[in-house]
Structure formats: C-alpha cells, structure tokens
Structure 1
C-alpha cells in the first residue's frame, strides 16, 4: 500500500500500524549539485492556516518514520514539507554500499536544505516557514540558522546533535582520527558500532531511542516492509564531516551567529547525543533557549504519550501560538 504522485514516481511505504496522513504529494527534486532527493508535502488539516513546517530528520531516518508527527502538525493548522537527506531513506545513496552512511562534507546537508527551500518550499508551500529538526537534522538546522536568518521564522529542535554521548572531552580528537582515516583512503569504510545493528523487537528493552514499545515496533516493522529504507553504520568520511561540524558548533563564536528565535529540546536520558553539549550551547544563545525533558530518551517525537505531550506543548508555546 503506497501513496504517490504518479505511477513512475517515488512511493511511501505504509503499514497498518503507520498510516500515511491524508493528502500526501510525493516526488523527487534535484539539488544544486545534482543529487536526487525524495520529498513529500501535506496540506494543513483542520484549523486556520498557520504556515508550513519544514521537517528535517536525523541520521538513518526517512519520511515514513514521522507520519504520526506530521499528522500532529497538520491538525494544528500547518502544512508539512519534508525530505530524505542525501544518502538515506528514499534519496540517492552516494557510495556503492547503500547500507553505509556517507557524505563528503557536512555542508552538503546545507545544500540539500537550501535546494529544498528554493525549489519546493517557496513555490509550493504557504508562508511563514518554520524549521523543525531532529538530531543530525538539528545540527544541520543550526547551521542553516547561522547562515540565513530569512529562510525560516523560527527553529524548533529535538535533541540536536551538537555533541555525542560520553564524548564531550574527546570529540575533537575523534574528529582528527576520522579525518586522518579519510585522508589515507579509508573514508568509505564503515566504523561499525554496536548501536548500528538492524533494529528488531528483541532490542527494545535496552534501546536508546524510545521507552514506547509500540512506536519502537512500528519503526522496526516499517524498515522490515521496505529494506531499502535501512541505513547502517556511518563511514569514516561521514564521521569526519559530522564530528568537525559538532566541534565547530561548540566554539565560542558560533552562538552569536544565530539571530532568529530558536528552541532546543534535550532528553534527560539521551545515550546518543550529548545533553550537556545542548545545555552549554543553549545557555550561550542570544536569540534562543533550551529545555531538558525529564525521563526522555533520544527520539522525543517517538517517545511515550506523556513525554510527547510535553514536546508538543513546547512546540505549541514556541511556534503554534506565535503563528496566530
């Protein structure tokens, strides 16, 4: 079962526990450097029109993972526009082994977002635009906010990847190591980690993503229904690019470059990104702030109802009520 624009276009994988929100338009667009990315648009649901949420994902993620959250935004009166980053989901994979996460430079994600804004958001979506980013997408969103304060009116981030759990004091050294490995020709090789295994139900009890079993199972079943959505370990080149971007975001000069309203949510029980790094950045922002959600694991939008309720309440206070 799939929703699509035309018989030859990209499809959305839909399973009984993860229905596609009504009104989906799915297609491809090509970035300024000729990478083909899958995207999807939804009109607003009920309520007065409030603009468009541009939703950007974390590493390994895909459009289908956010169907529930997309519907939450639609029912608040927002249109929603989203896409799969290069190298993941239904977008072009960049190296021969499509299971490995790869990007040449972290700036390539800026190219993806800037192309999406110019080619899809501006011509096809109602103003104003609000950027919502998770994890790696949160770091890419921070860089977008630091470079162009006119693209989005506000930025709302879920556990942005500004540091890695347990690596607060060693990130710069690991960045140098990954850069050196890439320089000597190892950039396309995986740096395998225990957490990069293909998810299944047996991994739920100790998973770092969510305390909600049904939402975790839904993620497992979606990838099982379409193996092409799966992405495994990052390559040394991806790690070099991402770690250098995190190190740069931690510099004293970075917070002052962000000049639009911004809210970051951190998870108190995050074992993927560094909550202390988010707090440190949040305290130094001039036009932004941060909140820590008690009891939450990394994927705030996939957490249990009590935690999601807090996340959506923060979203409403920061974006929905400001768009009236």
Structure 2
C-alpha cells in the first residue's frame, strides 16, 4: 500500500491538487439545501469508501487522503454536511453550526448513497470520522437493508466530552435553551471561527498537517465554521444518549487515547455490545486521519485490512 508522508506534503501538493481538480464535484438538492459532493472511482477500483467527515470539516480538507486512496486504487465518495463546508448554510449567521436533529444528516447521507454511490459501484463501505460516526451509526440502525459491506469508525462521536459539566447537565441546558427559543443561537462558550495555535490545538499531534488545515481555511474563508448552536447541541446529545441497537454489518473502530473532543470510553462500551466489531486504540489526538505519520499509517492499515476482509470476493476452489 502507498502511504502519504507529512514530510512530502509540500512536494506532493501539485499532485494532490490535480487529483482534487480531476474528481467529479457537484451538488445534490435536499430538503435542507444544496449539499456539495466529491466522487472519484478509479478504473477497476478495489472498492469504494464513503467518507463521512466530522463537524466543521469539508471534503476539501481531506485532499491528501483522497489522493492517497486513488494511488491505492480505492474509490471514494465524500460530501460536506448541511450547514458546513461548501454546502448551503442553514442560518443567516454562517458561523453557527446548526441542525434540528440527526435524522436530517442521515437523510442527506441516504441521498448521497442513492445518487452518488450505488449507481457507480457495487462494492462499498463507510469510513466515518467523529460526527460522521454518529451519523453513520444512525443511518445503519435505521437502514437494515443497506448495501454497505461494513463501517470503519475513526474517533467516532458516540459520546461528546462535555467536561467540566456532566452530560445530564449539558442536556438540560441545551433542551431548556431550545424551549426558550434559543435553538439557533450559539451555545454557551461557542463563538465564530477562531484558529488556535498548534501548541493549543486538541485535534492532532502533526504540526505539518495541522498548519496545512489552518492555511486552507484561511485561504478559503468560505469553509470556516464556528461553534455550535443550542439546537445542534440538543440534537447531538439526544442522538448520542439513545439506547443503541445491534448492527449486523462488520464494524471496526479506531479510538484515540488522548481524545478530548469525544469520550473514548464510549467506543469500548459500544464495541462490547456489537457481535461483529473490532476496536484498536492509538496514542493520538482526535483527528487520527490527520495525525503523525506513524499513528496515521497504523490507523489506515487497520482500515485497509478491514476493508479487504469485508469486500474480498470468494472465488471458489
């Protein structure tokens, strides 16, 4: 397998950008606005990954990974969630991350699959990061007849880290604020986009990838998104507090030991409830797909081996 190295990021930028430009890009129309998508499926692709990214993210942020997947003859379909990235924003204040409920996210994912995945490939699985993990889990629990062959979760948002407040208190505050008509306002402590220094960041230990991410968002300010609304917080805490169902598909989880964004213990609790789930823990921060090379390579190796195991066709004797 080919693995991208952070030390070669600068030298590979032209190739990475060229791959982004040659991918198929466009918009699908949903009940909550236009949603941006990116699709690239090489000829004779091994399989296709449906990359479902996290909050504040964009497909454009994942250019390095998209290029890397193409080098490995792996197809990818990805998109920007409603209200972020290049997709239509849901509030007049573009900086507020908002949603009414996670079914809206899941319904958009269903449309992406129907319009951009199944017409183009018959061998595909999910690669979901952070909030994308909560969305994919919701989708799988409510779509028992999906054509997906498995789901790989990277630091999934199965439970939000609400420290220093307990989850029950955060839920009460969010629900009360929504009742009082504040659903579309910034939640307590939230603000417009503010880039943090690498030393203060909670996302990754890779300086080069972190600086590339921040530079991208400075250059393309339309991608910037700030904190969440009370409505998003209420929806997220409601979704992650539900009693979970068993999923019949094979599942793999990559969990980050130094994650301060989501509660990593929730990954192990969820894995213990599933019959077809394997979990690995890595000494990284939240964004395992943008981590230092040794960690990122190990996570991607886990992903590739999992994908091979669930998509490999039996050829008979």
TM-score > 0.5 by shorter chain: yes
| Structure 2 partner of 1:259 | 248
Gaps of 5+ in 1: 1-14
Structure 1 distance, partners of 2:53, 2:260, is: 18
Structure 2 distance, partners of 1:166, 1:81, is: 32
Task: Show the 5 A alignment for 1:38-187.
Answer: 38-44=36-42, 48-123=44-119, 125-149=120-144, 150-165=146-161, 167=163, 170-187=166-183
Q: Over aligned residue pairs, what C-alpha RMSD do you find?
A: 2.1
| Structure 2 partner of 1:319 | 307
1:192 to 1:173, Cα distance in 2 relative to 1, 3 A: closer
Contact 1:86 1:93 in 2 (8 A): yes
Which of 293, 296, 304 is residue 305 of structure 1 equivalent to?
293
1:151 to 1:174, Cα distance in 2 relative to 1, 3 A: farther
The TM-score normalised by the length of structure 2 is 0.88
Secondary structure (helix, strand or coil) at the match of 2:107 reads helix
Which of 163, 183, 206 is residue 200 of structure 2 equivalent to?
206
Structure 1 distance, partners of 2:251, 2:105, is: 19
| Structure 1 partner of 2:3 | none
1:17 to 1:270, Cα distance in 2 relative to 1, 3 A: farther
Secondary structure (helix, strand or coil) at the match of 2:118 reads helix
| Structure 2 partner of 1:242 | 236
Which of 35, 38, 46 is residue 37 of structure 1 equivalent to?
35
Q: How many residues were matched structurally?
A: 298
Instruction: Note the alpha carbon deviations across 1:107-132, whole angstroms, 9 max, x for none.
Output: 10011101111122122x21211111
Contact 1:101 1:234 in 2 (8 A): yes
> Segments of 4+ in structure 1 off by > 4 A?
15-18, 166-169, 194-197
Task: State the shift of 1:72 in Å.
Answer: 2.4
The TM-score normalised by the length of structure 1 is 0.86
Secondary structure (helix, strand or coil) at the match of 2:231 reads helix
| Structure 2 partner of 1:232 | 226
Secondary structure (helix, strand or coil) at the match of 2:181 reads helix
Contact 1:110 1:143 in 2 (8 A): yes
Contact 1:266 1:292 in 2 (8 A): yes
Contact 1:86 1:109 in 2 (8 A): yes
Structure 2 distance, partners of 1:288, 1:134, is: 16
Structure 1 distance, partners of 2:36, 2:193, is: 25
Task: State the shift of 1:93 in Å.
Answer: 0.4
Secondary structure (helix, strand or coil) at the match of 1:186 reads coil
Which of 279, 282, 300 is residue 290 of structure 1 equivalent to?
279
Task: State the shift of 1:172 in Å.
Answer: 3.1
Structure 2 distance, partners of 1:321, 1:281, is: 21
Structure 2 distance, partners of 1:211, 1:148, is: 36
Instruction: Note the alpha carbon deviations across 1:122-165, whole angstroms, 9 max, x for none.
Output: 22x21211111100001101111212242311100100001122
| Structure 2 partner of 1:268 | 257
Contact 2:193 2:224 in 1 (8 A): no
1:18 to 1:165, Cα distance in 2 relative to 1, 3 A: farther
Task: State the shift of 1:16 in Å.
Answer: 6.2
1:292 to 1:166, Cα distance in 2 relative to 1, 3 A: farther
